[in-house]
Chain A
Amino acid sequence: MRAKLLRQPWVYSFGAALAVWLATIAYTHGQGAGAILTAALSFATFTIIVGLGQMMVITTGPGNVDLSIPATITLSGAVAMKVMDEDTGRMAIGIVAALGAATLVGIFNYGLIRILRIPPIIATLSSSFLVLSAAISYGRGIRIKPPEPLAQFAEAQVLGIPIMAIAVLALSVAMAVVLSRTVYGRSVLAVGQNSRAAWLAGLNVGRTRFLTYVLSAFLAGVCGILLSGFSRGAALNMGEEFLLASIATVVIGGTSVAGGRANVPGIWGAALFMYLLVTMLNTFGASAGIRLILTGLMIIGVIVAAGGEEQR
């Protein structure tokens, strides 16, 4: 039983998150232990949302990655805020518009990859410039607050647990079910292992990749809306930190970079770890430079620990 648990790749990311948390509260003598966890859950949810999308993209095989997530978050946030225009009655239409814009980004990305045969890393990177420019020109110079219900939803807690975290937990469970029990999810895993074999086994490789890029962009859109509610407005740099975060959580969480193996629980452990790590270093009073160096080293450490026995 214990050996079986240790073989799960997500155990390492949770272990790392726990260790970092314990180190932090040991330093503060237990002060703020709960508050740190609550904050971690709040901030980690955003990373988890985009991490789930990135996980699906990376799982479709070597070379697949979505670098347009930050730009899509920004575009979605800007569209949502501008369409809602602080009016609670326009919330629904704002959400639809933002998600619609994000979905279009996903379709555009796949178009570049499939029709123009551009490698995903280049395609999504270049489209992110276009998307970010669109967001800048669309949201030029405005600073619009989110409608009150959206802001409240993004901040609400039950017993110290953010409601958003509970919603994202439900989303994560749904994603795990999609992966193991739908034809689409199985196709993602099969295509990621061997796309030619998947094609010869009768799976629709093109449709699978298309849906995956659209799903990733859609989830970035969801993240953009919630993030602008949480941080009281959209900002043009709001997506920035999610480029590294989305990829790092996927990798630390035990999803195979070579494709074909996804891990949903690992995304949670990794996202919490990443946030708690920064919190710990802040608590220790580390300077910005030291913080970056240690963050990099710790990420490498966890990946080595978790990935060690995956080598075949």
Chain B
Amino acid sequence: MEAIFSFSIGLLTAAGVFLTLRGRTFPVAVGITLLSYAVNLFLFSSGRLTINGAAVLGTSEVYTDPVPQALVLTAIVIGFAMTAFLLILAMRSRADLGNDHVDGRLPVELEEKKK
């Protein structure tokens, strides 16, 4: 179980990093979202994996570690706020600059400038 969990985190990280390296804003936002999934799962798993052990007193024999869960809970909400900020920034930069490239100008324009 642990191996497959770690594999998933690795995969999400790889996918997230690849998309973060793209040149347009929307794939970057998607990539950051994937990365935040990976980060949240990673942090969560620092309390180790437990099945049927929710940290609600009186419901089970063995409890899982509640601290990483509390950390990740707020991280999810803040992650949403950050994704939202990123997306609005992307929209704003498209509106102001006329394109959706992360550098605010198209590579073609740069080439022309060099000439």
Do A and B interact with each other, yes or no?
no
Chain B residues proximal to chain A, CB less than 8 Å: none
